[in-house]
Homo-oligomer: A and B are copies of this chain.
Amino acid sequence: MAELPFPELDAHSDRAVFRQIADHIRDAIERGTLHEGDKVPSEAQLMQHYGVARMTIRNALQVLQSEGLTVAEHGRGVFVRSRPPVRRLASDRFARRHRERGKAAFIAETEGAGGKPSVDSIKVSEQAASPDVAERLGLADGSFVIARSRRYLINGQPVETAVSYLPAEIAKGTQIEQPDSGPGGIYARLEELGYRLDRFVEEIRSRMPLREEIRALKLAPGVPVFHLVRTAYATDGRAVEVCDTVMSSDAYVLSYELPAR
């Protein structure tokens, strides 16, 4: 058996053994000794190398996994995680000039970056607004909204789920209620309906995903999500849409421009 590229344990350290082992492997990844997609030595190899029990090795691997550095594949091994190509979201992505080309923001951007965009799980329903959505839309409690939910994928890999809420009073009976909202997306439809869009406000949180989100976005363990809530305002100051999106954090870099004014 080839020697593993890890130093020995420091018996005098008060750092726990499994942490020292995790440190060794992490260092190897950070230094590039192990690179993306490489297989980490198996539990059995590490047990022998370090002369410790299996649970100790598993604890060490668990640390790395929860840091998002590795992925375990049942029956195959543990691998250094490879990052998917990131999608940059610029703050002008909803500018009218983009919308007018007749494509929704996601499609246009992804194709521009050489990826194959797709959208699935489109569901539209009318429902009572949650207190949070009602407040953001400036609606009375219990008002009805049209909810459009969908999932975005790049090259078949899910990257984002989104649910848009629009006041039923605005969207009911329009193409916004159809699964295919037409060229330019719902923002184009809103403008056709006379709601000229003025500005968007985005609120961003970061947290660990819920179970459903892990499933929907096929997230590896240890990958947090962006939770972004966007509210669209028309020129009269009225909120016309709230979009609640959850994005895989390793597929995105968000970018915003702020005036110094």
Contact of A201 among B202, B207, B257 (CB under 8 A): B257
Find the residue from A203, A225, A232, A254 having the highest chain B CB count within 10 A.
Answer: A254
Check: A174 CB closer than 8 A to any chain B CB: no
Residues of B within 8 A of A55 (CB): 55
Q: How far is A57 from B6 in the complex, measured between Cα atoms in Å?
A: 32
Interface residues of A in 225-261 (CB under 8 A from B): 225-226, 232, 249-250, 252-261
How many copies of this protein are present in the complex? 2
Q: How far is A260 from B97 in the complex, measured between Cα atoms in Å?
A: 9
Contact of A255 among B92, B203, B252, B261 (CB under 8 A): B203
Check: A222 CB closer than 8 A to any chain B CB: yes
Residues of B within 8 A of A62 (CB): 62
How extensive is the interface on chain A, given as a class? 35 or more
Nearest B residue to A97, CB-CB:
B261
Residues of B within 8 A of A225 (CB): 206
Q: How far is A221 from B63 in the complex, measured between Cα atoms in Å?
A: 10
Q: Which residues of A contact B (CB under 8 A)?
A: 55, 62, 66-68, 91-92, 94-97, 197-208, 210, 221-226, 232, 249-250, 252-261
